[in-house]
Structures are given as C-alpha cells and as structure tokens.
A and B are shown apart, each in its own frame.
Chain A
Amino acid sequence: MTTASEAVLRQPRRRTAKKTLSPWQVARRTGFFALLAIFVIVSLFPFYWIVITSLKTPQEINAGTTSLLPGHVTFSNYIDDFTQNDFLRPLLNSVLVCGCTMIITVVIAALAGYALSRTAIRAKGLFFAFILVANFFPVIAMVGPLFTVYRRIGLLDSYPGLIIADLIYTLPLATYLMSSYFSQIPRSLEEAALVDGSTRLRTLRKIIIPVAMPGVFTTAILAFMLTWNDFLLALSFMTSPSRYTATVAIVTLGQSPYQTFYNLIDAAVVIISLPIALLVLFAQRRIVSGLTAGSFR
C-alpha cells in the first residue's frame, strides 16, 4: 500500500487502539476514501475548468484545449463582461429582485407561519395541503397567463412583476420553515407579553421574531438562493436586455453567429457562482438544516 493510504489509515487505528486491521479492512478503507476522493473531484473539477477557461485569451480559445493548466492568465474576459457587455446591470437586477423577493417572502411567511403554528384558525390541514400543492406547481404553467395579464396591466418587463412571480419558489418552503421554528418557541414567552397587554402583532414582532431570528436568517438565505436560481421566469417576463437578471444575461453573452466565446460566458459563470459558493462555505449548516427541516414537514 502507498504511504498516502497508510497515513489515512493511521488515524482510525489510533482511535480504536487495540484493533489491528485485516487486509480486507485495509482494502475496504482504501476503497472508501478513493470513492470519496472521486466524488469530491467530480463535484469540484468542473469549477476549476470554468475558472481556467475564464482566464483564457481569445487566441487560446481559438486554439482549443491543449493543457490542464492555464496558459496566459488574463482577466480581460472579466473586464470585457463588465465594460463591453455591461454584465454589472443584470447582476444588480438580480440582487435587487432577489433582495426584494427575500424580504417579502420573510414577512409573508412569518405572518402565515405564526398563524399556522400559534393561532386557533380552522382547517390548518387544508392550508398546509394547499401550500404543498403550490410547492409542486409547474412554474411553466404560470408563464402564459401571467405574461398575458402582465402585458395588460403594465407589469411586463418590470421588477414588481418578476418579484411577484418569483414568490412561487420561496413562499411554500419559507412558510413551512417559519411555522416549524415558531412551534418550537415556548408558549409561556408570548403569554407573558399578552398578559402585559401587548397586542398580538406587537408580540410577534417584539418577542417571537427576535427569539426565532436564527430561523428567520435561514429562511432568508434559502429564499435568496432559490430566487437567484431562477431562469425561466426572468426569461419570460423581462423583455428588454436592461432588465435581464444575471442568469438570463449569461445565456445571451459570448454568443456570435460563428462561435461561442466560452471565456466570456465562463467569466460570468464564475461571477454569479462566487457569492453562492461563499454563502455555502459560511452558512452550510444553516442552509442544510433549513433545507431538510423544510422538506420533512
């Protein structure tokens, strides 16, 4: 066996002290880590490829792939994306749309989640069933009718129109999450405030929400990510290039009748992946717990 796998093996052996490993166990453990390594490489290698492609000059793009390593590293594609292709505009559009969707989602989901977890409304099962159905509603089935209506009432090619439609991605999951977070808060907390004469809404705002703040953050992060992912709705409702969101703008970028400029596309891909990658690195636990808690309800 190689020294690398021995180094890996030494770790568990030290912990279990007395146990000596049979050749079969050695093979299994080596296989296990080899498999993990393959998974990690498959997950991350495409990102490496995107990054080096985004650093290539147009000449290198024309020459085709000759090496696994970047040749002349140039940032001109990033500069071109921002200057010639005005990629900043769609980026800001995305931030605006995702930010607004996130805030509206948190407000509506917090109110509804509180109603569904803490008030005596009837037919809660029916409400949850409706939210469940809405969660699985095919987004493309919204597009035709909303396009017609938006054009009639002037919401086509507007931020509010896209934000309203984007709520389909976020509201069901966010409501499930908020109601599950609220139901974990001890009832005595709000009862004390209510006895003191505070109104329900004020109690929700001043007592419940601050206690549920970690849950609110989780919901907000997930709402942002889910909206950031949108392509279909922005493609359908944003008709002028100055209103495109980042995901739509990428598709129109770097296309010419003769060639696809992957260096320009991939620079933009790196730009829109970066904030999400950072979010995952810093809030992985939160995102995962929110995702699974929201799914299991």
Chain B
Amino acid sequence: MAASEHTIAPSGPPAGARTGTGRARTLLGRDRRFGYLIVAPLIIVLLVITAYPLGYNIWNSFHHVDYLLPPLGAWAGVSNYKTLFTDNQFVPALVHTLGFTVVSVTVETVIGLGLALALNKKFRGRGIVRAAIFIPWAVPTVVSAELWRTMFDPQQGFVNYLLTELHLPLATTTWLDSTWTAWGAILIADAWRNTPFIAIVLLAGLQVIPSDIYEAARIDGASAWQQFRRLTLPLLKPALMVALIFRTLQSFMIFDVVYIMTGGGPGTSTNVLAYLNYKAFFALFDYGYGGAVSVALVVVALIIASAYRWIFRTDEATA
C-alpha cells in the first residue's frame, strides 16, 4: 500500500497524444477532462465521508457542543483538548489502545508468519487447510466477539468446561469480569479473526519468491535458519509492511469486540479510544469533547501510518 505512487499502472498519454500537433493536443485535453469527470464521484464521496467529518470534528473540538449543557456553539478554545488530559478517561484509553495494538499485532504477526510458512509448503489437502484457516477472517467481527463471548462464558462456554474436565485450575474463572483475563479474551477474539489476514498476505508474499534462490543457498551450505534470516525475511519485507500497516491501524481502531465482550469493563479497565469516542457521542452527547477525541484518533493514526512509511523508506534507501 505504501508504495502505491510508484506502482501505478503504466499509463502514458493516450493514443493521439504522442505528437505535439494541435489535434493531438485537443485529444489529450479531452481525454484529461474525461478522466477528471469520471474520477470525480470517488473523490467527492471520499471527501464527504472523511474530510468533511474531520473538519466538522475540528470545529466542534474548539467549541462547546455539549447537548446536555446548551447553548451550543460558543468558542471553547482548547478546553476540550485540556479535558482529554485531565478527565482520567482519555489517557488510560490511549494507553490501553496502544498497548493492545502492540501486543495483538506482534502475536498475530508471529503466528501469521508461521502459518504462512507452513501453508507455503506443498502437502496433500493444502487447499482445504487454507480455506479452514481463512474462514475466521471472512466472518464479521461481531461474530468473532459473540463466538468468544460464548466460549468464555462460565456456564455455556468451552474454556471452563475444558479446564474442569482436565482438572486444571481457573475452571471457575469469570473471564470477562477481571481486567487481565478480559484483555486475554479480547486478544484471543481479535487474534482468532485477524491472524488469517496476516497469513494470507504473507503467503502471497512468499509465493512470489523464486525457489531457485533457495536452491543456490543450499548449494552454498546455508542452514534452514540462515535461509530464513537472509533470504525469506528480507524478500518478505514488502508483504510484511502491508500486513503490519493494515493490522496496526485496524487494531488501533478496535471497537466491536470491546463493545460486545466487555463494554469497556470491568469498570473502565478495557476502555479503548474508539469505544470512548462512541460513548462521548452517544452517552455523554458531548460533541465538542467527542470531536477532540476523534481529532486525536486521526492524528495518532496518521503518525502510525507515517512511521511505517518512514521505516519502509529508510529500508529502501539503505538497501
């Protein structure tokens, strides 16, 4: 994704534009006008659903837009932003979200890489195994959340049933009722659904690596670990970047699983930014504060995306 500008389809000027004659130039102009005309709907829709809300959020964030405390629209300066750092909601949610993002992306990438390496080997029934592992990604996040809520339920769940049958400790845990076990359950629900995505992207990256370079490495006496370290990993970097940037930003926006499994609880111990932002709009009805949270979310998302881009860039320059 990050390399998009560099991989645009070869698209020189259209047929008539090769010469500098007047007729060719009008043809080129017409072609260009036509191009702008048909790309316009996309740009308009995307501006309406991203740039406009962002601008609106920025405006709200500098005004009093608390529907429970009218009048609305008075200039508020940076008071909404100040609230972010003083209300004991935003900062913990930010820490939770960033912590969860780091842990979930790391876990999912390590397992996803292992899965991709396994699925890249030839064996009988590989297609079926691939489909089986792929299905969790295809179902909605709501399904993964409800499914793991059932699995972790003390009465209906499988987890406690299994622990009881195996006479293991913790068999009576109510997983979603204390902080760390709730995070564990959220992590499992998230990883179960999203690890396949990483595996699929990395598998696609593995499949374009030519096999003869491994042949050459073997002849040179490289061990399996050396082959992985010196050949597979560097060549997999573009795919790894794609998987990481997609998953990191999705993970940072986690909402569905938290809403369904814990509601941010117990207390506010699993509160995350997207959930806090949703609450600001639909429980506090404070669109000024909510706007400030939204703006902060966009800023952090941009920082994450640019950080990945920067890492990618320096890699390219030193390669």
Interfacial residues, chain A to chain B (CB-CB below 8 A): 11-12, 32-33, 35-36, 39-40, 42-47, 49-50, 53, 61, 64-65, 68, 108-109, 111-112, 114-122, 124-125, 127-149, 164-165, 167-168, 171-172, 175-176, 179-180, 182-184, 187, 191, 194, 200-201, 225, 228-232, 235-236, 247, 250-251, 260, 262, 265-266, 269, 272-273, 276-277, 279-281, 284, 287-288, 291-292, 295-297
Contact = CB atoms under 8 A, between A and B. Distances in A.
Nearest to B44: A108
Given A46-B192, A47-B147, A121-B36, A297 B297 contact: no
A180 B280 CA distance: 40
B41 A112 contact: yes
B242 A296 contact: yes
A53 B161 CA distance: 13
B140 A228 contact: yes
B96 interface: no
A89 B33 CA distance: 45
A49 B158 CA distance: 7
B279 to A, nearest CB: 11
Contacts of A64: 155-156
Contacts of A11: 123-124
Contacts of B50: 133-134, 137, 142, 168
9 contacts: A32-B121, A33-B123, A40-B132, A108-B42, A125-B8, A138-B297, A143-B277, A148-B56, A272-B139
A180 B9 contact: yes
B317 to A, nearest CB: 19
Given A109-B42, A121-B36, 15 more contacts: A12-B123, A40-B129, A119-B11, A131-B46, A132-B1, A140-B294, A145-B60, A171-B46, A231-B140, A262-B150, A269-B146, A277-B138, A284-B130, A284-B134, A291-B200
Nearest to A131: B46
A291 B147 CA distance: 24
Interface of B is mostly: helix
A127 B43 contact: yes
B278 A65 contact: no
B39 interface: yes
Interface of B: 1-2, 4-5, 7-11, 13-15, 17, 28, 31-32, 34-36, 38-39, 41-43, 45-46, 48-50, 52-54, 56-57, 60, 114-115, 118, 121, 123-124, 127, 129-136, 138-143, 146-148, 150-151, 153, 155-158, 160-161, 192, 196-197, 200-201, 204, 238-239, 242-243, 245-246, 249, 252-253, 255-256, 259-260, 273-274, 277-278, 280-282, 287, 290-291, 294-295, 297-298, 301-302, 305
Contacts of A194: 15
Contacts of B196: 43
B138 A287 contact: yes
Contacts of B127: 284
A200 B33 CA distance: 12
Contacts of A280: 131, 134-135, 138
A266 B33 CA distance: 53
A130 B42 CA distance: 11
A32 B117 CA distance: 11
B147 to A, nearest CB: 5
Interface of A is mostly: helix
A140 to B, nearest CB: 4
Nearest to B45: A167
Contacts of A143: 53, 277-278, 281, 294
Given A140-B278, A182-B9, A121 B242 contact: no
Contacts of B253: 138-140
A76 to B, nearest CB: 17
Given A64-B156, A137-B301, A127 B39 contact: yes
A148 B8 CA distance: 38
Given A167-B45, A296-B1, A61 B156 contact: yes
A68 B54 CA distance: 50
A144 B34 CA distance: 35
A45 B28 CA distance: 59
Contacts of A53: 150, 156
Given A115-B36, A130-B46, A183 B10 contact: yes
A166 B153 CA distance: 32
Nearest to B10: A183
B305 A136 contact: yes
A295 B242 contact: yes
Contact of A128 (B4, B34, B139): B4
Closest 4 CB pairs of A and B: A183-B9, A119-B35, A145-B56, A121-B35
B184 to A, nearest CB: 15
Contacts of B297: 138, 140-141
A91 B130 CA distance: 29
Contact of A144 (B46, B60, B115): B60
Contacts of A165: 49
